[in-house]
Amino acid sequence: MRALIQRVKEARVIIESAVNVVRAERSINQGMVIFLGIEKNDTEEDSQYLINKILSLRIFEVNSSVNGKKEFEKSAIDISGEILVVPQFTLCADCRKGRRPEFSKAAPIEKAKLLYEYFIQQLRKKYDKIETGKFGAKMLVEIHNDGPVTIILDTKGY
């Protein structure tokens, strides 16, 4: 399971529905956007590991009393930050051969959807300031990066 995390001042996702031309919008203020890629060998344990790591990840700055420099000292929880989770299977791409991404590592749709929903459910049990994209939907994502700070987490090692 892979998570690409971006520290943001604000972000929003616009979810498009081709069937009814319905659009839904979800937004957050200061916090983080998590793009989540689910691979075929991922498990609920991978979800738990990522959730614990993400919620404790100190990527928010405070002024250091020692040297006056800004340092990563706070987590999203510490600053009451908001979290937007967006499913993104393209994080599972393998681009080592050829010019076209290959997605054989990505979980099948049914499994990926179940693990995405499990991830969201478990994340909400630990923290309440969560917004989400919609699995399988076409989405427009607007991000106002803060830093920029971008972190990649991979439960299988990176």
Q: Spell out the residues 6+ positions from residue 116 whose beta carbon is closer than 8 angstroms to its own.
A: 36, 38, 87, 135
Active site residue 155: no
Active-site residue (options: 43, 90, 132, 155): 90
Contact 154, 105 (CB under 8 A): no
Compute the distance between CA of residue 122 and CA of residue 44 in angstroms, rounded to an integer.
Answer: 10
Classify residue 69 as exposed, middle or buried by CB count within 10 Å of its CB (0-12, 13-18, 19+). Answer: exposed
Q: Spell out the residues 6+ positions from residue 45 whose beta carbon is closer than 8 angstroms to its own.
A: none
DSSP letters, 111-130, are HHHHHHHHHHHHHHHH-S-E
Task: Quote the radius of gyration of the chain (alpha carbons, Å).
Answer: 16
User: Using the 8-state DSSP alphabet, how is residue 90 labeled?
Assistant: G
| Catalytic residue ranges | 90
